[in-house]
Amino acid sequence: AMQSDDPTIAELLSAVPARPRLLVVDDQPINIQVMHQIFGSHCQVFMATSGQQALNFCLSTPPDIVLLDVVMPGMDGFEVCKALKSHPETSDIPVIFVTAHTDAHQETRGLELGAVDFISKPVNPAVVRARVKTQLTLKSQSDLMRRLVFLDGLTGVFNRRYLDQQLPIEVARTVRNQTPLALIMLDVDFFKRFNDCYGHQCGDDCLRTVATSVRESLRRPADLVARYGGEEFVCLLPDTPFDSAMAIAATLERNVRSKHVAHVDSDFQIVTVSLGVTATCGESALSVTELLERADQQLYQAKNTGRGRVCGAVLKGQVA
């Protein structure tokens, strides 16, 4: 059983936003104002006055919950909910319908589309506050449970399965928004020799030290580190151009070295890592495989030119 004082779980729990992001979707500004008065003091309240605007917002900056008016010109609330639920990047956002004409048929339809609750207008502030709080609590718990499935049991960073899930999402985002995306692949130098010399127990401790060092070196919430294989880790860095990724990789290399973990069978006498870096700026038809392969090639280059160093190359051109 996992201990509740496990630092990674504590970190995950603390990741529940102190000021949740609430998106209010309504074509009547007065209704948005009412919601702002109810939630403004303890939520970040965002607004959209049309269905399409709401979808665009959810794709670019996913909120923690959506309060959605059913009756709107153009794209109605049901269509917006259906679109949100059909998109992998937005399907987990809880949707509460807010409507003046609630009837059993409408409610059934909304729940079948994936909404979590129905609130009738005019809203009672205490009721709407309590219901939103319930859904935010459930959302943070299910997010936490989902994330625990994606943690590497040994090192506490994300596992390969999570990386495989996030990579296509980030690649799609970088293509859509034409923003940069960087990938760092790193590998513990002479790790087989380390295990042969010190034993697998110490090998496990060594991997934990490296993982912790890497995780502490990545500063932004969107940056992700995952254990990719035995002694191999991958850092996925959204909105990070190549030069910044190279600087981050150099910091990672330095920080692992500064731990001074003894390794008598290494050319360096201490534990070091080799790193391969690549970055792209949203070329169309970019493939996840190409991104990983390019970082892997650069890692191979770092290994072949002496280890304990960073090699990198920008991913350019149209990639099939």
Residues with a catalytic annotation lie at: 231
| Distance in angstroms (rounded) separating the CA atoms of residues 172 and 298 | 23
- Cα torsion 75, 77, 81, 82: sign: negative
Contact 207, 189 (CB under 8 A): no
**Token reading at 239:** 């909105």
Whether 63 contacts 90, CB under 8 Å: no
In angstroms, the CA 265 to CA 136 distance is: 52
Which residues lie across from 276 on neighbouring strands? 185, 311
Q: How far apart are CA 93 and CA 65, in angstroms?
A: 6
Asked if 303 and 185 count as a contact pair (C-beta separation under 8 A), the reply is no
CA distance 60 to 288: 20
Are the C-beta atoms of residues 7 and 156 closer than 8 Å to each other? yes
Alpha carbon of 12 to those of 28, 147, 187, 222, 232: distances in Å?
A: 37, 8, 26, 14, 23
Are the CB atoms for 277 and 312 separated by under 8 Å? yes
